[in-house]
Amino acid sequence: MQLTTLSQSSLQDYVDCARRFQLRYVDRLAYPAIESEPTLENEQHQREGEFFHRLAQQYLIGIPSEQVGRLANTENLQRWWENFSNAKDLLGPLRENLTSLYPEATLSAPLGNFRLLAKYDLIAIKENKAVIYDWKTYRKRPRNEWLAARMQTRVYRALLVHAGAHLNGGTPFVPEQIEMIYWFAEYPNDPARFAYTSAQYKRDWDLLLKLADEIHNALRQAQDDASLYPLTDDAARCLYCPYRSYCERGVRAGDADQAEVEMEAEELFDVNFEQIGEIAF
How many Å apart are CA 89 and CA 116, to the nearest integer? 32
Cβ nearer to ligand SF4, comparing 25 with 201: 25
Cβ nearer to ligand SF4, comparing 8 with 12: 12
Give the contacts of 172 (CB within 8 A, at least 6 positions apart).
161, 162, 164, 165
Closest CA to 29 of 253, 223, 260: 223
Q: Residues binding ligand SF4: what is the number (CB under 6 A)?
A: 13
Cβ nearer to ligand SF4, comparing 102 with 240: 240
Restricted to residues 241-280, the positions that interact with ligand SF4 (CB under 6 A) are: 241, 243-244, 247, 249
Closest CA to 54 of 74, 75, 69: 69
Q: Does 10 bind ligand SF4 (CB under 6 A)?
A: no
Q: Does 20 bind ligand SF4 (CB under 6 A)?
A: yes
Cβ nearer to ligand SF4, comparing 23 with 149: 23
Q: Residue 244 CB, nearest distance to ligand SF4 (Å)?
A: 4
Amino acid at residue number 276: I
Cβ nearer to ligand SF4, comparing 195 with 226: 226
Q: Residue 237 CB, nearest distance to ligand SF4 (Å)?
A: 4
- Beta bridge partner(s), residue 107: 118
Q: Does 11 bind ligand SF4 (CB under 6 A)?
A: no
Closest CA to 121 of 205, 172, 185, 170: 185
How many Å apart are CA 67 and CA 189, to the nearest integer? 24
How many Å apart are CA 271 and CA 278, to the nearest integer? 14
Candidate residues 114, 237, 269, 270; the one interacting with ligand SF4 per rule CB under 6 A? 237
